[in-house]
Amino acid sequence: MDQREAIVAVVRRGERVLVIQRGPQARLPGYWAPLSGKLESGESQEEALVREVHEEVGLRVSPVAKVWESQTADGLFRLHWWTAEAEAGEVVMHPGEVSDARWVTPSEFSRLQPVFAADREFFDRVLPQL
């Protein structure tokens, strides 16, 4: 079976990254993670990043760079990790998709539970190098 393509949005404001707690209608609810979502047909990774962030938390972002790739633990999705800068504005959580949202440092992320193994690896190993 072919892997589906998805983006992970590493939305930054200064030294902090926006993470959400997945809501009851999201895949794998309750997990803390950066914003993410599937690419739609004909959509670029950058377009998917901008769309997903706006749909889930109401922020406008500018993609900066693709910084990493990983896959979901079940192997269904290839994840394309992009950094993005958020414009001024408040987080407005999409009901059902997002239960909570926080701007965290890498050390604060390490204390959140539950999280995905790839997200922990990103915050521990990749993000400090950016």
How far, in Å, are 43, 63, 89 from residue 20 at the CA level? Answer: 23, 18, 16
**Going residue by residue through the chain (130 aa), what tens digit of pLDDT does each one get?**
688 999 999 999 988 999 999 999 998 999 999 999 999 999 999 999 999 999 999 999 999 999 999 999 999 999 999 999 998 899 999 999 999 999 999 999 999 999 999 999 999 999 999 8
Statement: 4-129 belongs to CATH 3.90.79.10: yes
Residue 1: per-residue pLDDT? 60
**What residue ranges do the domains of the chain occupy?**
4-129
Residue 23: per-residue pLDDT? 96
Q: Is 112 exposed, middle or buried (0-12, 13-18, 19+ CB in 10 A)?
A: middle
pTM for the whole structure: 0.94
Residue 27: per-residue pLDDT? 86
Residue 87: per-residue pLDDT? 87
